[in-house]
Amino acid sequence: MRAAQYDRYGDPSVLYVGDAPMPGAGPGEVLVTVAASSVNQIDATARSGSARPATGFRFPKGTGVDFAGEVVAIGTGVVDLAPGDRVWGFLPGLPRARTAAAAEFVVSKRRHLAPAPTAIDLVDAAGLAMVGVTALVALRTYANLQPGGRLLVRGASGGVGTVAVQLAKAMGAHVTALTSGDTLDFVRSLGADAALDYHTHGPSSLGTFDAILDLTGTRLAAYRALLAPKGRMVTTATRGIPYILFSTIFGPRRVRAFVVSPRSELLADLAGFVDDGALKPVVDKVFPLEQIAAAHRAIADGGVRGKVVVTL
C-alpha cells in the first residue's frame, strides 16, 4: 500500500510516499481504507525528531494520527461494524510505527474509532477527529464549562481552537476568542461573541473568566490571574509544563493539562455535535498524499485557519 513515510528526522522535505506492507486486523481491531488524514502538531513534532527519546530510531516511520474512511475488514471480537461502514478516529500517542494514518490503509482498535458523522464527507471528518475530541474533553471535563459561563480561548483560529469556539457556543457559553488580527472576523463567524487580537490585547485588558482554554502554553501565570474564584484553566500545549507543575500550589485554581486519547464514545459524542449542525469542520487546505511534504510545510509556515487535510 502507499504510505507517507520518512527515513530520518528533519524538516518536511524528509517525507515521501513509500510502498509499505498491507496491514491486517487482529482481535478487537478494524482495517480501514483511509479516505483522508490530517496534519496535527504532533505529526510535526514526531517528524522533526524533537521527541526522539519517545519515537526512537527505527526507520522508516509513518506519519498522521487522524483518519476517516471505510471499514474493509474486522478482527475477531468486533461485532458492531461491517465492511463498508464509514468510520473516523485517531491513533493514540506519537506516530512512530512504520506506517501511520497517512496511508492507504490503517489498522485501529475498535475502541479508538466510531461511526463517522453523516452530515459531512470523510475529507472534512479527517480534520476534526483528534482536535475535536481534544476540544471536547478540554471544555467538558477539564474546564467544566457550564451554560452561561464565560470562556476565553487562546489560539482560536487553529485546529483545536476552531472546534472549541463552536462547541463552547453549543454548550451555551459566552466565548471570547484571542487570535491574530487577520482572523478576527473568521473566529466571529464561528460564533465567538468577542474576538480580540492577541498582539494588541494583553491579559490585563480582558476581564475575568470562568474558564480559559490555552492552546499556546505561554504566559500561563498572567492568564491564570484572570480566573474567577472557582474558574478553571486548561492547556493542551506541552510548552507550559513547568508552570503547570508549579500551579499545583494553587489547589483548585491550578492549570490543568492532559494528553488526549481516542475513545469511541467521545468520537460518537463529537459526531453528534456535527450531525446536529452545531459543529462545522474548518479545512483550510487539502493536499493529495503525494504532497505530504507540502502539507507539513503548510503547518510549519503558520497562518492556517483550522486544518490541513491529506487525501488518499
Ligand X SMILES: NC(=O)c1ccc[n+]([C@@H]2O[C@H](COP(=O)([O-])OP(=O)(O)OC[C@H]3O[C@@H](n4cnc5c(N)ncnc54)[C@H](OP(=O)(O)O)[C@@H]3O)[C@@H](O)[C@H]2O)c1
Name the segment binding ligand X (CB under 6 A); options: 54-62, 65-73, 90-98, 302-310.
Answer: 302-310
What is the nearest approach in angstroms of ligand X to the Cβ of residue 238?
Answer: 7
User: Interface with ligand X includes 221 (CB under 6 A)?
Assistant: no
User: Interface with ligand X includes 48 (CB under 6 A)?
Assistant: no
Closest CA to 273 of 117, 105, 147: 117
Task: Give the pairing type, strands 227-235 and 255-257.
Answer: parallel
Residue 119 grid coordinates: 452530515
Among 221, 225, 245, 259, binds ligand X (CB under 6 A): 259
Q: Report the C-alpha gap between 36 and 104 in whole angstroms.
A: 9
Residue 123 grid coordinates: 475529507
Q: Reduced to 3 states, what is the DSSP secondary structure of residue 205?
A: helix
What is the nearest approach in angstroms of ligand X to the Cβ of residue 301?
Answer: 9
Among 131, 151, 266, 283, binds ligand X (CB under 6 A): 131
User: Interface with ligand X includes 33 (CB under 6 A)?
Assistant: no
Name the segment binding ligand X (CB under 6 A); options: 72-80, 85-93, 254-262, 264-272.
Answer: 254-262
Residue 238 grid coordinates: 506541552
Q: CA 58: distance to chain centroid? A: 26
What is the nearest approach in angstroms of ligand X to the Cβ of residue 22?
Answer: 29
- Residue 79 or 200: which CB sits closer to ligand X? 200
What is the nearest approach in angstroms of ligand X to the Cβ of residue 269?
Answer: 16
Q: Report the C-alpha gap between 139 and 215 in whole angstroms.
A: 12
**Residue showing cell 508552570:** 243
What is the nearest approach in angstroms of ligand X to the Cβ of residue 305?
Answer: 8
User: Interface with ligand X includes 69 (CB under 6 A)?
Assistant: no
User: Interface with ligand X includes 303 (CB under 6 A)?
Assistant: yes
User: Interface with ligand X includes 12 (CB under 6 A)?
Assistant: no
x/- mask, ligand X, residues 144-163, rule CB under 6 A, reads ----------xx-xxxxx--
Among 5, 55, 99, 216, binds ligand X (CB under 6 A): 216
How crowded is residue 140: how many other Cβ atoms within 10 Å of its Cβ? 15
Residue spans of beta strands (DSSP E) within 110-208: 113-115, 150-154, 174-179, 194-197
The amino acid that residue 103 corresponds to is: A
User: Interface with ligand X includes 132 (CB under 6 A)?
Assistant: no
Contact 152, 174 (CB under 8 A): no
What is the nearest approach in angstroms of ligand X to the Cβ of residue 63?
Answer: 14
At residue 187, what are phi and psi to the nearest 5 degrees?
-70, -30
User: Interface with ligand X includes 134 (CB under 6 A)?
Assistant: yes
User: Interface with ligand X includes 215 (CB under 6 A)?
Assistant: yes
Q: Reduced to 3 states, what is the DSSP secondary structure of residue 80?
A: coil
- Residue 33 or 216: which CB sits closer to ligand X? 216
Q: Report the C-alpha gap between 250 and 253 in whole angstroms.
A: 5
Helix (H) or strand (E) holding 21: none
Contact residues toward ligand X (CB under 6 A) are 40-42, 131, 134, 154-155, 157-161, 178-180, 183, 198, 215-216, 218, 236-237, 258-260, 302-304
